[in-house]
Structure 1
Amino acid sequence: MTDTIQIQAPVSDGILLTDEAAAKVKALLDGEGRDDLALRVAVQPGGCSGLRYQLFFDERSLEGDVVKTYGGVNVVTDRMSAPYLLGATIDFVDTIEKQGFTIDNPNATSSCACGDSFN
């Protein structure tokens, strides 16, 4: 019997939420007791590198939103942030060194040590 490793291809039309991240978001939403919220991912001016990521739960639907669904979780990006996040992967890590969401963004030319801002 041969084991097969599946490699998930990068997403070219939006954000990819890994299975681990989708499960964590789902657990957080279940803890809130609300099924009307989506994970909104945005890029805002600020941070030490010029732009910073924002991840938060949102019930709003804005004109031009890009919506993708992973594991029953809606991930929403506004039309201004979408180009900055094209092909980005959001993961959730839980190790002895670090716990939290990480963003691997192929559009970032540099980032700071905090990992929350980029340019």
Structure 2
Amino acid sequence: MTVQNETATAIHGVTLTEAAAGKAKALLDQEGRDDLALRIAVQPGGCAGLRYQLFFDDRALDGDLVVGFGGVNLVVDRMSAPYVQGAAIDFVDTIEKQGFTIDNPNATGSCACGDSFN
């Protein structure tokens, strides 16, 4: 289930699931920070050509696209937006894996280690 503002999501097209928004909010609350946003960016790198960056950021860049999800602002820079349009960010906590995951319908392939995509 995603927690989103339907109108604003069309701005950058990325969704944050309820689990991801909850975890991000918990991390921010734990640090006592309300001035940070969760930023997803795409940078050149990795063996498949492009690499995601997902981090908390206090900067506001010219052209940023911002959508609120469950008390957390998700920010995408305008250059990364076409690469992540339609992507969903989730948080998984299983015995096999723990962390944020990105399901991106624009990724046509990835490297064996799963660190980069094309």
TM-score after normalising by structure 1: 0.88
CA distance in 1, matches of 2:61, 2:115: 24
Instruction: Report the CA distance between 1:90 and its aligned residue.
Output: 0.3
SS at match of 2:22: helix
What RMSD in Å do the two structures reach over aligned CA positions? Answer: 1.7
Equivalent AA in structure 1 for residue 109 of structure 2: S
Match of 2:19 in 1: 20
Q: How does 1:1-119 map to 2 (within 5 A)?
A: 13-119=12-118
CA distance in 2, matches of 1:76, 1:116: 21
Gaps of 5+ in 1: 1-5
Equivalent AA in structure 2 for residue 78 of structure 1: D
Equivalent AA in structure 2 for residue 69 of structure 1: G
Instruction: Report the CA distance between 1:32 and its aligned residue.
Output: 1.5
Instruction: Report the CA distance between 1:7 and its aligned residue.
Output: 8.9
Match of 1:3 in 2: none
**Runs of 4+ more than 4 Å apart:** none
| Count of paired positions | 112
Distance 1:57 1:7, change over 3 A: closer
Does the aligned pair in 2 maintain the 1:67–1:76 contact within 8 Å? yes
CA distance in 2, matches of 1:7, 1:80: 24
SS at match of 1:118: coil
Identical-pair percentage: 75
Equivalent AA in structure 2 for residue 103 of structure 1: I
Distance 1:7 1:43, change over 3 A: closer
TM-score after normalising by structure 2: 0.89
Gaps of 5+ in 2: 4-8
Equivalent AA in structure 2 for residue 98 of structure 1: K
Q: Which has the higher Rg, Structure 1 or Structure 2?
A: 1
